[in-house]
Amino acid sequence: MSMAAGEYVSVSSQADTERADLERERLELATDDVHERAELAGIYQKRGLDPELAKQVADQLMAHDALGAHARDELGISEMVTARPVQAAFASALTFAVGAAMPLLPVVLGSDQVSIPAVSVTSLLCLGVLGALASVVGGAKPLAGILRVTGWGALAMAVTAAAGLLFGASG
């Protein structure tokens, strides 16, 4: 629930920023059309179009959907990548719940004497598998993902354990 709530708050903040950016862009389009056309043409020139073609593209796109063109090409906001807080919260809740289940198996199946090392090892193994999977899906080499995810995971566990020892919460 904590991860879902955090994700919802984070993505909601992103959505608020997107709405504010779009409102500001809507106002700029209403008050300074000439500058906005030049701004859009400049974006297309930086992407490799010659000045005349960039102006034509900007003019045509603004005639069709000025706010959409500026949202997409100036602000980087499109319907495909717009912030969706509820979806993000559900996805986060589901993935964290599933991810937390595997390391808990040694606690359920093992003895108290080995539960902490077993949870640590199981967690790092699961993180390694997930790091490899994420790398392969992303088109990268699995070893880089394994090292990155298990390294940061091990660091997070070590800091958490140190905090527990410092405050007497683990023994």
127, with CB counted inside 10 A (0-12, 13-18, 19+), is buried
Q: What is the pLDDT of residues 84-133, one digit of tens each?
A: 788 888 888 887 888 778 888 888 887 777 788 888 899 999 889 988 98
Confidence of residue 80 (pLDDT cuts 50, 70, 90): low
Distance in angstroms (rounded) separating the CA atoms of residues 163 and 145: 27
123, with CB counted inside 10 A (0-12, 13-18, 19+), is buried
Q: What residues have CB less than 8 Å from 68, skipping those under 6 apart? A: 61
Q: Which residue has the higher pLDDT, 2 or 62?
A: 62
Q: What is the pLDDT of residue 142?
A: 92
Using CA atoms, how far residue 12 sits from 20, 89, 134, in Å, is 12, 10, 25
Model pTM? 0.58
Distance in angstroms (rounded) separating the CA atoms of residues 132 and 119: 20
How far separated are the first and last CA of the chain, in Å rounded?
27
Q: What is the pLDDT of residue 40?
A: 94
Q: What is the pLDDT of residues 19-39, one digit of tens each?
A: 899 999 999 999 999 999 999
Overall size of the chain counted in residues: 171
Q: Which residue has the higher pLDDT, 17 or 41?
A: 41
What does the pLDDT average to over 43-68? 95
